[in-house]
Amino acid sequence: MAVLVGKKAPDFKAAAVVNSEIVEDFTLSQFIGQKYVVLFFYPLDFTFVCPTEILAFQEKLSEFEKANCQVIGVSIDSKYSHHAWLNTPKNQGGIQGVTYPLVADLDKTISMNYDVLAGDYTYDVDDDGNERRSFVGTPVAYRGTFLIDLQGVVRHQVVNDLPLGRNIDEALRMLHALQHVEKFGEVCPANWEEGKDAMKATKEGVAEYLSKH
């Protein structure tokens, strides 16, 4: 699994559904210099854990937006599948009401560039000398979450296995922590939450923090 923290987030251009409208050339780069981004991958539309995560992001969307952060979801489904799911009522297993972008990674290149594809392509040659390509594993994305700063650099990532739903509050906490560090030049200790004490990255700062806690 690649560690992208500290590196430029791989850009992409792909179809997406935004507020139930299909956008053909949706890019990550349009937000660089403008907004923070929480980019998250999920396995498939019309499944079970995935809608709980997608709807949970929607419930917290105003808090992300208040922090100048764009939430973007990605799966290997088509734009048509996204559109259909977004127009299916919640009581029928849909995600109607979700307004942030869902990107269609139908050829799996975005998932591969972020190294969250749950498997890999293998190549061999048949008896006639023809190259054959096959996929080993499950051709969907793990539940990867990436926090990208205003310069387009990945500052935090976490990847869950397919049956393990992520914590949306943790994604929001990490966004607040990054912004606190950038604004005040302090570092955030274990279990830090917005509004709590941080500390200076010095021996004296650590000692002062520990003496109060």
Q: What is the pLDDT of residues 168-183, one digit of tens each?
A: 999 999 999 999 999 9
Residues 27 and 108 in one domain: yes
Q: Is residue 152 part of a domain?
A: yes
Of 157, 150, 78, the closest CA to residue 115 belongs to 157
Which residue range(s) make up the domain with 77? Answer: 13-166
**Both 72 and 151 in a single domain?**
yes
Cα–Cα distance, 110 to 75 (Å, whole number) = 9
- On whether residue 189 sits in a domain, the answer given is yes
* pLDDT beyond 80 at 190: yes
pTM of the model: 0.93
**How large a percentage of the chain has pLDDT more than 70?**
100
Which positions are annotated as active-site residues? 50
Mean of the pLDDT values across residues 107-130? 87
pLDDT of the residue at 212: 86
- Contact 120/141 with Cβ under 8 angstroms? no
Same-domain status, 150 and 187:
no
Phi, psi of 109 (to 5 degrees): -70, -35
Cα separations in angstroms, 115 against 22, 98, 109, 145, 154: 26, 26, 9, 11, 13
Average pLDDT, the chain: 94
The rounded distance, in Å, linking the Cα atoms of 21 and 157 is 29
Q: What pLDDT is stored for residue 181 in this prediction?
A: 95
Do residues 69 and 144 share a domain? yes
Residue 3 counted as domain residue:
no
Q: Does residue 109 sit in the same domain as residue 212?
A: no
| pLDDT level of residue 1 (50, 70, 90 thresholds) | low
Residue at 7 is within a domain: no
Residue 38 phi/psi, 5° resolution? Answer: -105, 110
Q: Are residues 146 and 206 in the same domain?
A: no
**Crossing angle for the helix pair 168-184 and 49-59, to the nearest 10 degrees:** 40
Quick check: is 141 in a domain? yes
Position with higher pLDDT, 119 vs 187: 187
Q: Are residues 76 and 171 in the same domain?
A: no
State the DSSP H helix or E strand holding residue 53, giving kind and residue range, or none if neither: helix 49-59
Residue 196 falls within a domain, yes or no?
yes
Looking at the structure, tell me whether residues 146 and 60 fall in a common domain: yes
Q: Which of 189, 121, 117 is nearest to 159 (CA)?
A: 117
Number of domains in the chain: 2
Span of 10-19, 84-93, 178-187, 195-204 with lowest mean pLDDT: 195-204
Question: Based on the domain organization, do 21 and 95 belong to the same domain?
Answer: yes
pLDDT at 84 (0 to 100) = 97
Distance, in Å, from the CA atom of 49 to the CA atom of 213, rounded to the nearest integer, reads 38
**Distances from the Cα of 213 to the Cα of 128, 194, 199, 205, 207, angstroms:** 71, 16, 11, 13, 10
